[in-house]
């Protein structure tokens, strides 16, 4: 930044006077997925060096900054409220009566009077009339406004425009600048965002084709040939819900209260993405990238954030934009996964319901795009059929991604456990007594599909693992380090031909609270 201004906040109004109004044009925007964006605006400094920038952005605390082009020196910058006066049409007979006080007009009053009269007053709910000499009515009439049916008069005699005053927030500045000098405003603000999505086409038996797109959601800005960057990653912005005091025009008490609330951490509500799967046969094969030009820019890695560039975007406030970001191809594998939960919860054995467990048909492939995949929805297509939808989790370039397609009903997994030994009161603590129980588990797998499958099977186990078969990978987890029982994850990889079944056994001992 070439010049940082000392900023002063005034709560009193400021008459605009003869200062020119200068528009701050959006020149770039970096969009996050949480509804916020870093927006850069530029305002041309008038030859007088003074001006008004209307409607400053509602910035997040500490993110409103002023800079300038070389040679510009900002001597004063004040956030203020301007009072503007303008004309508008009257919107009721009440307003028309008030606007014509002191004038002689034609007037019709229900059951009382019809003729010309001077309106003496229209305050409150009554109107006071003085009939003219041309009418038979004499004296002063005091009538309810509701009895007036109409007023009339020649053009120019009846007032039908009224003055109105509106308050507008604005920035007033004084600067010395060469011709063409600009003031730059940088702000993190709500109102514009982007939502990513992926489509995976597995029509080819070996190579997957991925298309990444972005939906731009614009509720706040008018973009005209603006360079936009779409940001992936997780920025640390702890004051996201607090407005910057320079542009919020909150009173002091509201600002301090917001700061106090921010000082007490709140539990973040986590909501998962729910997807309803459907099969939809289309009339012809679809190519989700063919109809759109694909951005040739490779993107930019900046520390832990990645930026997808979209040059020269034009999007009016309230519009939505559809942009294809990139395509990629990668070899893929069909993988079937099943995760069996731990039977021990809070040192108690929890009986699991009988029946087959969920087996998911998934795709496993390498991110060959050279760009990270951000967390987003992903659909899987084959020969124009929608097979399923899942969440694509953040995946770095050259890392492996796994996306679920649908439940595999033809690959069945059933499990059962039985107690084979119990040692009473094997462990005593200050507050509890535990039995040491030895448990044997069996997992039965059968492949009813017409082709061979690869199954990745995992099982959570609390306690000490005594025996396993089929050479699984056993990982001791860091969860529950202070618990009586250690926690483990056992992982098997099985290749099953069509119609083949397999049985897995394992054995472990665990302390059960009595």
Query: Three-class SS of residue 125?
Result: coil
Sequence-distant (6+) residues with CB within 8 A of 456 are 335, 336, 337, 338, 491, 492, 493
Query: Three-class SS of residue 376?
Result: strand
Q: Is residue 26 part of a domain?
A: no
Least confident of 78-92, 439-453, 485-499, 500-514: 78-92
Among 379, 407, 435, give the residue marking a domain's end: 407
Sequence-distant (6+) residues with CB within 8 A of 253 are none
Among 407, 442, 461, give the residue marking a domain's end: 407
Two structure tokens written together for 81 = 């409220």
Angle 96-97-99 (CA atoms, 0-180°, nearest 5)? 65
Sequence-distant (6+) residues with CB within 8 A of 73 are 3, 175, 176, 177
- Report whether pLDDT(296) > 60: no
Two structure tokens written together for 191 = 């109102």
Residue 7, H or E segment: strand 7-13
- Report whether pLDDT(263) > 80: no
Report d(CA 287, CA 390) in Å as an integer.
20
Q: Which residue has the higher pLDDT, 18 or 263?
A: 18
Q: Is residue 232 part of a domain?
A: no
Per the DSSP assignment, residues forming a β-bridge with 434 are 427, 513
What sections of 239-290 are H helices per DSSP? 245-248, 252-263
Sequence-distant (6+) residues with CB within 8 A of 179 are 47
**Mean of the pLDDT values across residues 224-238?**
88
Residue 44, H or E segment: strand 36-44
Integer angstrom CA distances of residue 223 from 45, 180, 312 = 21, 22, 9
Please tell me whether residues 308 and 364 are part of one structural domain.
yes
Please tell me whether residues 392 and 490 are part of one structural domain.
no
In this prediction, residue 352 carries a pLDDT of: 81
In this prediction, residue 299 carries a pLDDT of: 59
Please tell me whether residues 400 and 420 are part of one structural domain.
no
Q: Is residue 68 part of a domain?
A: no
Among 407, 431, 462, give the residue marking a domain's end: 407
**Mean of the pLDDT values across residues 244-273?**
69
Q: Is residue 234 part of a domain?
A: no
**Mean of the pLDDT values across residues 131-138?**
70
Angle 175-179-184 (CA atoms, 0-180°, nearest 5)? 55
In this prediction, residue 259 carries a pLDDT of: 83
Please tell me whether residues 140 and 155 are part of one structural domain.
yes
Please tell me whether residues 358 and 456 are part of one structural domain.
no
- Report whether pLDDT(329) > 70: yes
Query: Three-class SS of residue 325?
Result: strand
Among residues 448, 61, 428, the alpha carbon closest in space to that of 246 is found at 61
DSSP summary character for residue 21: B
Q: Give the domain CATH number at 117.
A: 2.30.30.100
Q: Is residue 338 part of a domain?
A: yes
In this prediction, residue 15 carries a pLDDT of: 46
Residue whose structure tokens are 């507008």: 168
Report d(CA 195, CA 390) in Å as an integer.
15
Please tell me whether residues 296 and 383 are part of one structural domain.
yes
- Please tell me the chain's helix, strand, coil percentages from 3-state DSSP, rounded to the nearest 5: 5, 55, 40
Please tell me whether residues 325 and 429 are part of one structural domain.
no
Cβ atoms of residues 64 and 247 within 8 Å = yes
pLDDT per residue over 366-391, tens digit each?
Answer: 999 999 999 999 999 999 999 999 99
pLDDT band at 289 (very low <50, low <70, confident <90, very high): very low
Report d(CA 368, CA 397) in Å as an integer.
6
**Mean of the pLDDT values across residues 106-131?**
90
CA 198 to chain CA centroid, Å, is 18
pLDDT band at 271 (very low <50, low <70, confident <90, very high): very low
Q: Which residues of 383-393 are buried (b: 16+ CB within 10 A; e: fewer)?
A: eeebbbbbebe
Angle 209-214-219 (CA atoms, 0-180°, nearest 5)? 170
- Report whether pLDDT(351) > 90: no
pLDDT band at 301 (very low <50, low <70, confident <90, very high): low
Q: Is residue 111 part of a domain?
A: yes
Q: Is residue 153 part of a domain?
A: yes
Please tell me whether residues 333 and 415 are part of one structural domain.
no
Two structure tokens written together for 183 = 């003031």
Report d(CA 363, CA 358) in Å as an integer.
16
Q: Is residue 114 part of a domain?
A: yes
In this prediction, residue 284 carries a pLDDT of: 41
- Report whether pLDDT(413) > 90: yes
In this prediction, residue 135 carries a pLDDT of: 61
Please tell me whether residues 389 and 431 are part of one structural domain.
no
Least confident of 13-22, 83-92, 265-274, 356-365: 265-274
Task: Show the beta-strand stretches assigned E in 90-179.
Answer: 104-109, 113-121, 126-131, 141-144, 148-152, 161-176
Sequence-distant (6+) residues with CB within 8 A of 97 are 119, 122, 127, 145, 148, 151
pTM of the model: 0.73
What is the average pLDDT value for the chain, to the nearest integer?
87
Q: Give the domain CATH number at 488.
A: 2.60.40
**Mean of the pLDDT values across residues 238-248?**
90
Cβ atoms of residues 44 and 114 within 8 Å = no
pLDDT band at 399 (very low <50, low <70, confident <90, very high): very high
In this prediction, residue 232 carries a pLDDT of: 86
The number of domains in the chain is 3
Please tell me whether residues 462 and 341 are part of one structural domain.
no
Report d(CA 70, CA 66) in Å as an integer.
13
Two structure tokens written together for 121 = 């007053």
Work out the burial of residue 14: count CB atoms within 10 Å of its CB; fewer than 13 is exposed, 13-18 middle, 19 or more buried: middle
Percent above pLDDT 90 for the chain: 71
- Report whether pLDDT(274) > 50: no
- Report whether pLDDT(194) > 80: yes
Report d(CA 374, CA 383) in Å as an integer.
26
Please tell me whether residues 402 and 478 are part of one structural domain.
no
**Mean of the pLDDT values across residues 176-190?**
94
Please tell me whether residues 394 and 428 are part of one structural domain.
no
Sequence-distant (6+) residues with CB within 8 A of 387 are 202, 279, 379, 380, 381, 405, 406
Per the DSSP assignment, residues forming a β-bridge with 182 are 44
Domain that holds residue 110: 91-159
Give the number of residues written for the chain. Answer: 514
């Amino acid at each position: 930044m070439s010049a940082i201004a000392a900023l002063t906040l005034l709560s009193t109004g400021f008459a605009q006077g003869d200062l020119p109004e200068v528009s701050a044009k959006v020149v770039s925007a970096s969009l996050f997925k949480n509804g916020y964006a870093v927006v850069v605006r530029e305002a041309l400094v008038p030859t007088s060096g003074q001006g008004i920038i209307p409607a400053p952005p509602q910035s997040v605390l500490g993110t409103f900054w002023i800079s300038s082009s070389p040679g510009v020196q900002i001597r004063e910058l004040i956030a203020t409220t301007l009072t503007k006066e303008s004309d508008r049409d009257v919107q009721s007979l009440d307003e028309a009566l008030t606007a014509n006080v002191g004038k002689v007009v034609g007037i019709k009053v229900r059951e009382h009077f019809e003729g010309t009269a001077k309106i003496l007053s229209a305050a409150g709910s009554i109107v006071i009339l003085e009939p003219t000499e041309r009418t038979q009515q004499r004296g002063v009439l005091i009538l309810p406004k509701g009895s007036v049916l109409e007023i009339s008069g020649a053009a120019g005699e009846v007032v039908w425009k009224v003055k109105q005053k509106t308050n507008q927030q604005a920035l007033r500045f004084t600067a010395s600048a060469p011709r063409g000098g600009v003031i730059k405003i940088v702000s993190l603000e709500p109102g514009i965002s982007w939502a990513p999505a992926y489509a995976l086409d597995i029509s080819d038996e070996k190579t997957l084709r991925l298309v990444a797109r972005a939906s731009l959601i614009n509720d706040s800005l008018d973009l005209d040939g603006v360079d936009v960057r779409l940001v992936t990653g997780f920025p640390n912005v702890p004051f996201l819900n607090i407005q910057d005091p320079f542009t919020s025009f909150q009173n002091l008490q509201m600002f301090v209260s917001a700061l106090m609330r921010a000082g007490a951490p709140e539990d973040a509500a986590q909501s998962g993405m729910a997807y309803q799967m459907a099969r939809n046969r289309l009339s012809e094969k679809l190519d989700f990238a063919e109809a759109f030009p694909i951005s040739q820019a490779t993107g930019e890695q900046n520390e832990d954030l990645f930026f997808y560039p979209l040059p020269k975007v034009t999007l009016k406030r309230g519009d939505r934009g559809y942009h294809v970001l990139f395509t990629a191809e990668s070899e893929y594998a069909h993988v079937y996964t099943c995760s069996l939960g731990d039977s021990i919860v809070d040192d108690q054995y929890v009986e699991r319901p009988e029946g087959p467990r969920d087996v998911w048909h998934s795709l496993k492939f390498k991110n060959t795009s050279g760009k990270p995949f951000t967390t987003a929805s992903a659909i899987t297509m084959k020969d124009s059929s929608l097979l399923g939808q899942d969440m694509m989790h953040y995946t770095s370039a050259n890392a492996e991604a796994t996306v679920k397609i649908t439940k595999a009903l033809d690959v069945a997994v059933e499990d059962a456990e039985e107690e084979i030994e119990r040692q009473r009161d094997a462990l005593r603590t200050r507050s509890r007594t535990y039995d040491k129980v030895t448990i044997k588990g069996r997992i039965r797998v059968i492949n009813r599909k017409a082709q061979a499958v690869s199954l990745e099977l995992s099982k959570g186990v609390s306690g000490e693992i005594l025996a396993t078969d089929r050479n699984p990978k056993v990982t001791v987890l860091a969860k529950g380090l202070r618990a009586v029982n250690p926690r483990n994850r056992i992982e098997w990889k099985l290749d099953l031909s069509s119609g083949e079944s397999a049985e897995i056994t394992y054995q472990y001992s665990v302390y059960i609270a009595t």
